[in-house]
Structure 1
């Protein structure tokens, strides 16, 4: 399966075209090339006011050849909106069945509020946490997974907070927390906030 991420520059406000970035990743977190997708925008009354299904005569969807595509949409006024994303195929071939998802977002006058979405932690990261907790993989592989979450802005860390250090400095209780998280005893949000706090305080260095 694929993970899709939609983001936009919160510095842009209503009454102007806002650039939306669509990115696609495989289960390992690598960009997926040649994905076909379509999308639509829905206002708070439930009315669809914009859609783009691509312009090709041979397939339905916009071709994201590099794994990331940018689309600019005129948002008419301040308010709450939904964006509906539909995966229609890959490699210039449509799927027999399409896959869709929706996210809510708000637009103001130069709003700083990003697209509202739950922290989309890839499944492989949680698997790595469990394997690291039971000693199957090395500390460095767990840290690589955390770096991926930082890169994708699932964990927010300022430039001054992160630095490279020896993996043997990771406290044992962090490993215990990772194991509990992988087993569902700690929810995603609590674990991510804990990791973010530990990086900020210098307990865990990336």
Structure 2
């Protein structure tokens, strides 16, 4: 079922998203989202994703992030400069049971996704596509996924978030919407 881009749509699916994946907009791409306390294997199955590939986590704010990740001074600088926004930070894991030592976490700049997280807590935030296929910038790109609910908010940016690892130094994992030069400029201040 495709729902309109409204708070009422989030109200309708929030309880469902505690245990089942839904397609939500982010500031960059459409995401496959559900509570991190649900059965995460459902996400892997729907995407056809290798279990070795970790799933990023979305949070509504820095306080929520601090409950699941160790926020270093470097991370705090980048959070204040670029979040909410298209930046994913890999930090030491503090509270996500199904992840190992690290967690990839971000605050997406989309009011409806933040609203969902305010209602149900941290969520999975992986792209809503079959692994290896085109990044989903429009709802039509998500139709191969077997999910009950999708929120259609039109065309999104289409460029993925930049991923920076901040464990034992600074490492660029993927350059996306934010250039590495901008990241380094903030870290050097």
TM bin (shorter chain):
under 0.3
Larger RCO of the pair (alpha carbons < 8 Å, separation 6+): 2
TM-score, structure 2 length as denominator? 0.24
The structure where strand makes up a greater share of residues is: 1
Larger CA Rg, structure 1 vs 2: 1
The structure where helix makes up a greater share of residues is: 2
